Structure 1
Amino acid sequence: MTARITPFLNHISACNQAQIPGNRLPFFWRDEHIGWVSPPTANALKALGAHSGDQLGITEPTALHPLAKTLAEHGLYKPHHEDFDIRNANGDVIGQVDRGAIPVLGLAAEGIHLNGLVEKSDGSYLWVARRSMNKKLDPGKLDHLVAGGMSTGLTPATTLIKEAEEEAGIPATLAEQATAVSRIHYAMERPEGLRRDVLHCYDLILPETFIPTANDGEVESFHLLPLTEVFERVRTTQDFKFNVNLVLIDLFSRRGFFAPEENHLINKALHAA
């Protein structure tokens, strides 16, 4: 392994440091395993009657949302007031929960990340956003031009169009030109709980005349940076939000920033899940 890629592998490892199951207990929907819960959450679920014998969970889809709401009322998380669909292993929607409950219950969640690229005569550039200091998660960190979770009723494509308009003022006619390029999984222990995320990654070539505008108050500023500079910042700093590093590393890999032997190791680590 070349020392040059060690920082990139460290970013990937940092997003996959969760030990599963560790001390967690499985959480079920009927007989399907859908999540992992910590001992304190397990105790709360038992007190609320969300179990059958030793098996923690629910049997009816309509029970998931009120159960999550009750966990918030008991102080296990702060509601985000945004519902996400929860799916079983077949991809069928089995219920909804507040976004804040997902890591508490160790449920899988999906989201989108967009590489907003500009091709100039002197090379490739990437639009980078700085997160608002009012964000609950990683305030002030650098982020993608567009990124967001997949709310109830949406698909990756419709989430992309929605978030592109809200976060950067990208019209739907332009956002629809984005290309789906990869999917990245990771499992990470965070202060808010266990994150088991699936990131749907997109590339979009933007015209040089495009200037992003934040419409939802979640971005402090936008910056158009040479892709080579972004590469160096990912390599040498912790400036970017944790999971943004994964999507950028995937972009660097596809853009030929790594030697073939390095690329093999990067992709093996990045897509191991």
Structure 2
Amino acid sequence: MLSPAASPFLRHIERCNNVTLPAGRLPLLHRNDRIGLIDPACLDWLTNPAMAGLVNVTNEAIILPEGQNLREISSLLVQQGHCVPFREWFDVRSPEGDIIGQIDRALIPIFGVEASGVHMNGLVKKESGLHLWVARRSPHKRLDPGKLDHLVAGGMSSGLTPDETLAKEAEEEAAIPATLIQQAHHASTLHYAMTRPEGLRRDRLYCYDLVLPDSFVPRANDGEVESFRLTPIDEVFERVRDSDDFKFNVNLVLTDLFLRLGMFDKQDALVLADILHAKG
């Protein structure tokens, strides 16, 4: 049982785990492995004659004969106007982690395949206490415009490892040099499954911590961030507790950070950690 002081954090975990799979979706199978979950409303797209030979549709499942077909399927669905492409390819993996093929990022929630991303807590130790760099997302972002975000966060594009993704996003989003980002360490991995307006999100988040020098000031390079603010960690804690100002999954990574920093009492920490790391 969580205390009233900690229970508000539970809503963020529950929000990111708001679906019980398969949730009426049909499995997308490759060599008998389930690699995705597809909304039955999309079956007409996949039974279109243009898809002949690329995917097989039955009453029980959608079968992908060859992983390389995912690229052509993505391109056809974009051409047919079924989605607005990101023009960014993400790897689709087997349950064992082997790369099967690539899919346009826009189709990830439609096909319900697992996607990976990185989130980094940019921390600064000051005499007045620990601070965290908080970004505000551009109002022009397709997803969650204007929400508060991490200093560095982004999806893991095809061919990149988590560390490589972190270095790429750090340079693009906050102008963090390679020599500095190499000091970041992987602190945790979180999973969740949730339904959103864009579809089913099954995400794996690689969470990093980096202690930055007090002299460092981030600079947005790619237009995805409107501004940065160095914020006392206690203020961040209160904002996560009392509001939904942060992008939905950022709340999970921050709650995980608060746990590592010992910001909950012992019993609340045990309960929250168990729930947070058991989901997905």
TM-score normalised by the shorter chain: which range applies? over 0.9
Correspondence for 2:189: 183
Please name the residue that 1:227 is paired with.
233
**Counterpart in 2 of 1:159?**
165
**CA apart distance, 1:70:** 1.7
Partner of 2:36: 35
Deviations 1:89-123 (A, max 9, x none): 11111100111110100000000000000001111
Aligned to 2:73: 67
**Does the aligned pair in 2 maintain the 1:41–1:76 contact within 8 Å?**
no
2:94 corresponds to which residue? 88
**Deviations for 1:172-214, whole angstroms, at most 9, x for unmatched residues?**
1100100100000000101111000000000000000000000
The counterpart of 2:215, out of the listed 206, 209, 219, is 209
Match in the other structure for 1:170: 176
TM-score normalised by length of structure 1? 0.97
Shift of 1:4: 1.3
Q: For 1:89, what is the secondary structure of its paired residue?
A: coil
Superposition RMSD on alpha carbons, in Å? 1.1
2:91–2:158 contact (8 Å) kept in structure 1: yes
Which residue of structure 2 aligns with residue 58 of structure 1? 64
Q: Which moved more, 1:63-72 or 1:142-151?
A: 63-72
Contact 1:25/1:42 (CA < 8 Å) preserved in 2? no
Contact 2:47/2:57, CA 8 A, preserved across alignment: no
Moved more, 45-54 or 13-22: 45-54
Please name the residue that 2:137 is paired with. Answer: 131
Alignment partners' CA distance in 2, 1:263 and 1:53: 46
Question: Structure 2: how far apart are the matches of 1:228 and 1:258?
Answer: 12
Contact 2:149 2:246 in 1 (8 A): yes
Work out which of the residue numbers 184, 189, 200 in structure 2 matches 1:194.
200
Q: TM-score, normalised by structure 2?
A: 0.95
Moved more, 135-144 or 17-26: 17-26
- The yes-or-no answer on 1:22 pairing with 2:31 is no
Deviation at 1:52, TM superposition (A): 5.2
**CA–CA separation in structure 2 for the residues paired with 1:144 and 1:57:** 38
**Gap runs ≥5 in structure 2:** none
Task: Report the Cα offset of residue 73 of structure 1.
Answer: 2.8
The residue that corresponds to 1:5 in the other structure is 6
Secondary structure of 2:183's match? coil
Secondary structure of the corresponding residue to residue 141 of structure 2 = coil
Distance, in Å, in 1 between the alignment partners of 2:47 and 2:20 is 23
Greater shift, 32-41 or 238-247, is seen at: 32-41
**Separation in 2, partners of 1:194, 1:108:** 9
Moved more, 54-63 or 159-168: 54-63
1:53, 1:220 → 2: CA distance?
46
Q: For the residues of structure 2 that align with 1:141 and 1:42, how far apart are their CA atoms? A: 34
Question: 1:270 aligned to 2:270?
Answer: no
Superposition deviation, residue 24 in structure 1: 0.8
Do the aligned residues in 1 keep the contact of 2:46 with 2:57 (CA within 8 Å)? Answer: no
Q: Secondary structure at the match of 1:267?
A: helix
Q: Distance in 2 between matches of 1:145 and 1:175?
A: 12
The CA distance in 1 between the partners of 2:223 and 2:181, in whole Å, is 20
Q: Distance in 2 between matches of 1:81 and 1:2?
A: 45
Q: Is the 8 A contact 1:117 1:125 kept in 2?
A: yes
Counterpart Cα distance in 1 of 2:82 and 2:16 = 23
Shift of the alpha carbon at 1:144? 0.1
Deviations 1:136-159 (A, max 9, x none): 000000000000000011000000
SS in structure 2 of the partner of residue 265 of structure 1:
helix
- Cα distance in 2, alignment partners of residues 120 and 266 from structure 1: 28
Q: Distance in 1 between the 2:273 and 2:30 partners?
A: 33
Task: Flag structure 1 segments of 5+ consecutive residues without an equivalent.
Answer: none
Q: Secondary structure at the match of 2:234?
A: helix
